[in-house]
A and B are shown apart, each in its own frame.
Chain A
Amino acid sequence: MDILVQQLINGLVLGSVYALIALGYTMVYGILELINFAHGEITMIGAMIAVATIGALSGGALPIPVILFTGLVAAMAGCMALGYVIERIAYRPLRHAPRLAPLITAIGVSIVLQNIAMLIWGRQYIAFPPVLPQGWHTLLGARITDLQVAILVTALVLMLVLDLLVHRTRLGRAMRATAQSIPLAGLMGINGNRIISITFLIGSALAAISGFMVSAYYGLAHYYMGFLLGLKAFSAAVLGGIGNIRGAMLGGLLLGIIESLGAGYIGTLTHGVIGSNYQDVFAFFVLITVLILRPSGLLGAPATDRA
Chain B
Amino acid sequence: MTALLALNALTVAYGKLHAVQDVSLQVAQGERVCLIGANGAGKSTLLKTVGGLLQPRSGSIHFASQSIGSLPGHAIVARGLALVPEGRGIFNRLSVLENLELGAWLRRDRAAVRQEIATICERFPRLGERRNQPAGQLSGGEQQLLAIQRALLSRPRLLLLDEPSMGLAPMMVEAVFSSLLDAHRGGITLLLVEQNAQLALTHTDRGYVMESGRITMENTSAALHDDPQVRAAYLGVGSL
Residues of A within 8 A of B (CB): 170, 173-174, 176-177, 180-181, 183-192, 307
Contacts and interface: CB of A to CB of B under 8 A. Distances in A.
A173 B73 contact: no
Contacts of B72: 186, 191
Interface of B: 51-53, 72-74, 77-78, 82-83, 85, 89, 91-94, 98, 101-103, 105-106, 150-151, 154
B74 A190 contact: yes
B105 A190 contact: yes
B93 A180 contact: yes
Contact of B73 (A170, A177, A186): A186
Nearest to A194: B74
A183 B102 contact: no
A189 B98 contact: no
A180 B73 contact: no
A127 B90 CA distance: 52
Contacts of A181: 89, 91
B93 A173 contact: no
A188 B154 contact: yes
**Could you say which of B91, B98, B101 has the most chain A C-beta atoms within 10 Å of its C-beta?**
B91
A189 B105 contact: yes
B93 A188 contact: no
Given A176-B91, A177-B94, A188 B53 contact: no
A186 B74 contact: yes
B91 A180 contact: yes
A174 B91 contact: no
Nearest to A180: B91
Contacts of B93: 176, 180
Given A188-B103, A192-B74, 14 more contacts: A173-B102, A174-B105, A177-B91, A177-B94, A177-B102, A183-B73, A184-B85, A186-B52, A187-B82, A187-B89, A188-B77, A188-B105, A189-B105, A191-B74
Given A173-B101, A174-B105, A192-B74, A187 B51 contact: yes
22 contacts: A173-B94, A173-B101, A173-B102, A174-B105, A176-B98, A177-B91, A177-B94, A181-B91, A183-B53, A184-B89, A184-B91, A186-B53, A186-B72, A187-B73, A187-B74, A187-B89, A188-B102, A188-B154, A190-B102, A191-B72, A192-B74, A307-B92
A187 B52 CA distance: 8
Contact of B53 (A174, A180, A187, A191): A187
Contacts of B52: 186-187
Contacts of A173: 94, 98, 101-102
Nearest to B110: A170
A186 B83 CA distance: 10
A88 to B, nearest CB: 16
Contacts of B102: 173-174, 177, 185, 188, 190
Contacts of B150: 188
A187 B91 contact: no
- 7 residue pairs, one from A and one from B, having the closest CB atoms: A186-B73, A189-B77, A189-B106, A186-B74, A188-B102, A188-B105, A189-B105
Contacts of A183: 53, 73
A183 B91 CA distance: 12
B34 to A, nearest CB: 21
A174 B105 CA distance: 8
A191 B106 CA distance: 10
A293 to B, nearest CB: 24
Contact of B74 (A170, A176, A189): A189
Contacts of B51: 187
Contacts of B89: 181, 184, 187
A246 to B, nearest CB: 13
A187 B83 contact: yes
A186 B52 CA distance: 9
**Could you say which of A170, A189, A192 has the most chain B C-beta atoms within 10 Å of its C-beta?**
A189
